[in-house]
Structure 1
Amino acid sequence: MERLITISALRPTLQSALLSLIFTSSAFAEVPRMPTAIPVPPSDKPPLSSAKRPGTEYSDLDKYGYIEEEFYLQGVAPAITASGKQLFEAPYTTRILVRKPADPRRFNGTVVIEPFSWFGERGAGWILTRDYLLRRGYAYVGYTLNMNQPAVDPKFIADTPAVEAEQIAQYGRIVNFEFMRRFDYARYAPLGSYYDPQRFTRGEGPDPFVPQSQGIAAQLALLLKTPAAQGPLAGLDVQRVYVNSWAVTAQVWMDYLDQGRHQQWRMPDARPLIDAYMTGRMAYGEVGGDVIRLPRQMPDGVPFVTVYSQSELMHDVLEGIDLPPDTDSPQLRYYEVTGIPHLRLADLGTEHTEHFAADVGKGDDPRCQTLYDEPVELVVSALLDGMDHWVREGKPMPKAPRVVREGKAVVRDPDTGNLQGGVRPPWIQVPSATYLTDQETGCGQIYDTKVPYSKDVLGQRYGNFSHYQQAFEDAKGLSIKQRYLLPEDAMGLRPIAKPQDF
């Protein structure tokens, strides 16, 4: 005969554990399916997006005692619409690229995950934080969210056939699984995921995001956080998983939070799968669907951090979109960082190229000549470090002022020409140029540009290079105090203007 055991009949320690489980887990919480990770057979060349390959993602992994490994990730994941409706489950095969300390004693307990960008399988978060991650002993897992090339690719649907054709001509070869198979057919031929443009739409057209994106992400986090004798992180004691997702794939994580997946999908012991979310350089809703800045089902006790470049913040200004205030409960931070562009040459993925001003007939426009080349990764690394302290120590991240607005326009300092408010790196505190956005200049390129000050202006502002250099050093100190620059990074940050500019 079965016996009904009440909570009051349990020992006090068991009562406490059970009550904690009941009240900290969602009424609808469930454990995702566990995926399978299979090592990719060795090839005669490094994998796509490898840190060992010369290019924008290269890092000296040996110097830091890191190893890189690639795995197939296979499973069955739900197909979910942009509005959050789960229709059915389907199989998938994708790949993950793992970087981890060879010595488990160097591992700090945290894994950073990010979906690779559509464009050239770029690891944007890796590019922006790699030195910090390697110094501090993080593990990193990048993963592919993509599809076979459809007859009409939703990534390139535009207002006119001419614009659509132009986008296809420029980017068509570096997106979808076909790009990966052309790069290394034997390695990437098995990849596949569900896609149906009729059943899955976003806004007025087909959804460009893989319907299984959210389920794949949750299953990956479950795999990484589950101790195992074999697997991608075997031998490492994983305590935390952070999302660090940039550019267009950041929308996946806004959807994940907005639709309540954080609360829905959990570890078997009811702990969260994800412990913190950082996204950046993405104006949510820009590719269709809801234009929101605060997830409607924002979780408690987990940071959600968004980092805007001047391009993204300018988009919201022109569209009249207000940002929610920063709060400690829920843990929400928005950073509008002045003096950083949407894209740099240092951010390009494999085989990814972008037009310059001369390519679009703007070669003679003085506002279009000089691209940003500032080390924005230093600001991003400091913000990621701040998020880590918030998770591990409960120390809230700093709250930054928003960029100053007047209606649907930004306010620029009449003396420097730069934006007022926002996070202000040393090169904005002590400027040697006016930093612009393409929305303002009409340069017609994805890169944002700046107009360097003339010798006369530099002389009027600073007198000579020595005075400018000292002011820049003082600005670095203020950024460290504000927690937007790490002391170890400050040592390598050099003034933007050079002696010959004076």
Structure 2
Amino acid sequence: MAVAAVAAAASLVDVRGATVPMPTVTGPLGASAAGDPARDYPLNASVVDLKGRGYLEQEFFIEGTASRFTTPPQATGTVVDGGHPYKTRIIVRRPATAARFNGTVLVEWNNVTAGRDLDIDWFQTYDHLTRSGYAWVGVTPQWVGVGALKAWSPARYGTLNVTHGGTLANDELSYDVFSQAGQAVRNPGDVNVMGGLRVERVFATGHSQSAGRLGTYVNSVHPLGKVFDAVILHGGGGRVRADLDIPVWKLLAETDVQNQAANRQPDTKLFRTWEVAGSSHVDLRFRTYSTQFGPRDGSPTAPGFVSAASRGAPPSGSATGPSRGAAAGGVPSLGASPSSGTRGTTGAPGCDRPSYSHIPFYQVFNAAIDHLVRWAKDGTPPPSAPPLEIATVGPPAVIARDADGNALGGIRLSQHAVPTAVNTGVNTGPGFCRLNGSHEPFTADRLASLYPSHAAYVGAVKEVAARNLRAGYILKVDADATIAEAEQSNLGR
């Protein structure tokens, strides 16, 4: 494996994050073409044409010694002990030139609920990130992610370890490992993982289980090191303390609100929650992206890993729907076959409803990222948004719905407010069905009753897209794309 450079020994820096050690960085690592049977390339190498977007992808190893922390609820932790050796990988996707870089880096805590690293926030936002000049860094701080890497390519990843040689099996080091990864981005040493780009802001982000861990991190560990300028808790995370000094943003799908509704917090000067009606924890965009690299890389998992799905438990930090056989969040049945669980090409076999909401949650995520830059940079707060309406608080909460079964309240994108289907964040069935949400198209008669002409449909879409754009919930590029999709449809013709 080719190695371009190896950094000098770990050292401390004297700017933001001064108490966080600087890891030793090795890389960028050489790589064969993605799909090489020898597997000498990054697991989860991007399926996006990064070069065509003026971007590049590089993998680095970071290593050093990490500390364990106490993590009292909504309070600053303390160091338990230190000196635990670790070594893990990070993946950097960044503009190839300084002219393309906007100064902001998103550092994602990769999700391991499926037994391997998944860069879910990258899945959702890569179009916007690469269009707008952001950089993205994916971090593998947990033993499951490292174990899957080693199982997939022992030659490339065999030296990685985040358990102090197997003596720390509960991800005790993950918080400090994540801090040190952020430090390598913010205050690079001899090996500059950002290729010399001038970094102005570093945001932490993570989805589901990773959001849960980031919620703990921002409450208990961030105050000790203050590496990050803002945090996005996507699809999870517990209550956030009120005295933090950086913006924290919860972005929740309808699925997530089921277990978050009873624990909502009001918006403040440095806290926001946005809830997106009709969206699901695992949606069509997630599914579409992940199926592109799955056949290429296979499905490696860490030895000894037992999934939350097989245990019948929700991923840590996420939400779960009602048990199988219960009314799925109050959604009226449209006659879907419980045995097939499929409609078109988007179903997950065995789920009680056709899987994967088609509501483009990523459009809201894109807008939130741009708002977060202004919020962190000069204190300009983002707009607040109405919450989803709740019929029964629970948990799990039952979301209030219209006669068709679509959720009331929340951020209502055109695809939801001008519906052509029932899109929800609920489902039932085995495995992770409860996270997939559902998508059930309206009948032709129902569509005709709603939209007597193509012009009526397009006009309604334009009105809602314009309203969401004015409110700041979506960007113009996504509003334009939504309108173009409606104009190209055959509905009402």
TM-score by length of 2: 0.75
Letter paired with 2:97: D
Letter paired with 1:325: P
Q: 1:198, 1:180 → 2: CA distance?
A: 19
Question: Any idea what SS the aligned residue of 2:391 has?
Answer: coil
Instruction: Indicate if the aligned counterparts of 2:386 and 2:411 stay in contact, CA closer than 8 A.
Output: yes
Q: 1:236 to 1:497 in 2, by over 3 A?
A: closer
Deviations 1:254-311 (A, max 9, x none): 111221x22211xxxxxx42111111112x3xxxxxxx42236x412x2100111111
Deviations 1:118-163 (A, max 9, x none): 133111111111111111111211111222xxxxxxxxxxxxxxxx
Match of 1:346 among 270, 275, 288: 288
Instruction: Indicate if the aligned counterparts of 2:53 and 2:130 stay in contact, CA closer than 8 A.
Output: yes
Q: Does 1:275 align with 2:271?
A: no
Deviations 1:4-60 (A, max 9, x none): xxxxxxxxxxxxxxxxxxxx99xxx96111101101542323311211xxxxxx222
Displacement of 1:82 in angstroms is: 4.8
Displacement of 1:415 in angstroms is: 4.1
Match of 1:125 among 93, 103, 121: 121
Displacement of 1:176 in angstroms is: 4.2
How do 1:336-485 residues align onto structure 2 when only pairs under 5 Å count? Answer: 336-344=275-283, 345-346=287-288, 348=290, 350=294, 351=298, 362-363=339-340, 368-369=353-354, 371-408=356-393, 409-438=397-426, 445=433, 446-485=435-474
Instruction: Indicate if the aligned counterparts of 1:125 and 1:244 stay in contact, CA closer than 8 A.
Output: yes
Q: Does 1:212 align with 2:173?
A: yes
Displacement of 1:182 in angstroms is: 3.2
Q: 1:352 to 1:81 in 2, by over 3 A?
A: farther
Instruction: Indicate if the aligned counterparts of 1:228 and 1:234 stay in contact, CA closer than 8 A.
Output: no
Instruction: Indicate if the aligned counterparts of 1:410 and 1:419 stay in contact, CA closer than 8 A.
Output: no
Structure 1 counterpart of 2:62: 73
Q: 2:102, 2:341 → 1: CA distance?
A: 51
Structure 2 counterpart of 1:287: none
Instruction: Indicate if the aligned counterparts of 1:41 and 1:187 stay in contact, CA closer than 8 A.
Output: no
Letter paired with 2:43: L
Q: 1:82, 1:496 → 2: CA distance?
A: 52
Instruction: Indicate if the aligned counterparts of 2:109 and 2:204 stay in contact, CA closer than 8 A.
Output: no
Structure 2 counterpart of 1:499: 490
How do 1:152-171 residues align onto structure 2 when only pairs under 5 Å count? Answer: none
Q: Does 1:192 align with 2:161?
A: yes
Q: 1:195, 1:407 → 2: CA distance?
A: 46
Q: Does 1:144 align with 2:85?
A: no
Displacement of 1:481 in angstroms is: 0.8
Question: Any idea what SS the aligned residue of 1:327 has?
Answer: coil
Match of 1:106 among 100, 103, 111: 100
Size of the aligned set, in residue pairs, is 409
Structure 2 counterpart of 1:332: 271
Deviations 1:51-75 (A, max 9, x none): 1xxxxxx222112211111110001
Q: 1:186, 1:197 → 2: CA distance?
A: 20
Instruction: Indicate if the aligned counterparts of 1:427 and 1:496 stay in contact, CA closer than 8 A.
Output: no
Instruction: Indicate if the aligned counterparts of 2:90 and 2:139 stay in contact, CA closer than 8 A.
Output: yes
Moved more, 183-192 or 373-382: 373-382
Question: Any idea what SS the aligned residue of 1:341 has?
Answer: coil
Deviations 1:378-401 (A, max 9, x none): 121111111112122322111011
Instruction: Indicate if the aligned counterparts of 1:193 and 1:212 stay in contact, CA closer than 8 A.
Output: yes
TM-score by length of 1: 0.74
Letter paired with 1:391: A
Q: 1:277, 1:224 → 2: CA distance?
A: 15
Structure 2 counterpart of 1:304: 248
Instruction: Indicate if the aligned counterparts of 1:114 and 1:142 stay in contact, CA closer than 8 A.
Output: yes
Q: 1:361 to 1:417 in 2, by over 3 A?
A: closer
Instruction: Indicate if the aligned counterparts of 1:229 and 1:235 stay in contact, CA closer than 8 A.
Output: no
Question: Any idea what SS the aligned residue of 2:205 has?
Answer: strand
Superposition CA RMSD, Å: 3.0
Q: 1:398, 1:61 → 2: CA distance?
A: 32
Q: Does 1:262 align with 2:226?
A: no
The structure with the largest alpha-carbon Rg is 1
Instruction: Indicate if the aligned counterparts of 1:433 and 1:451 stay in contact, CA closer than 8 A.
Output: yes
Unaligned stretches of 5+ residues in structure 1: 1-23, 52-57, 148-174, 201-206, 266-271, 285-291
Q: 1:361 to 1:275 in 2, by over 3 A?
A: same
Moved more, 305-314 or 226-235: 226-235
Displacement of 1:88 in angstroms is: 1.8
Q: 1:30 to 1:339 in 2, by over 3 A?
A: same
Q: 1:180 to 1:501 in 2, by over 3 A?
A: farther
Q: 2:267, 2:273 → 1: CA distance?
A: 7
Question: Any idea what SS the aligned residue of 1:406 has?
Answer: strand
Q: 1:72 to 1:116 in 2, by over 3 A?
A: same
Match of 1:295 among 221, 233, 241: 241
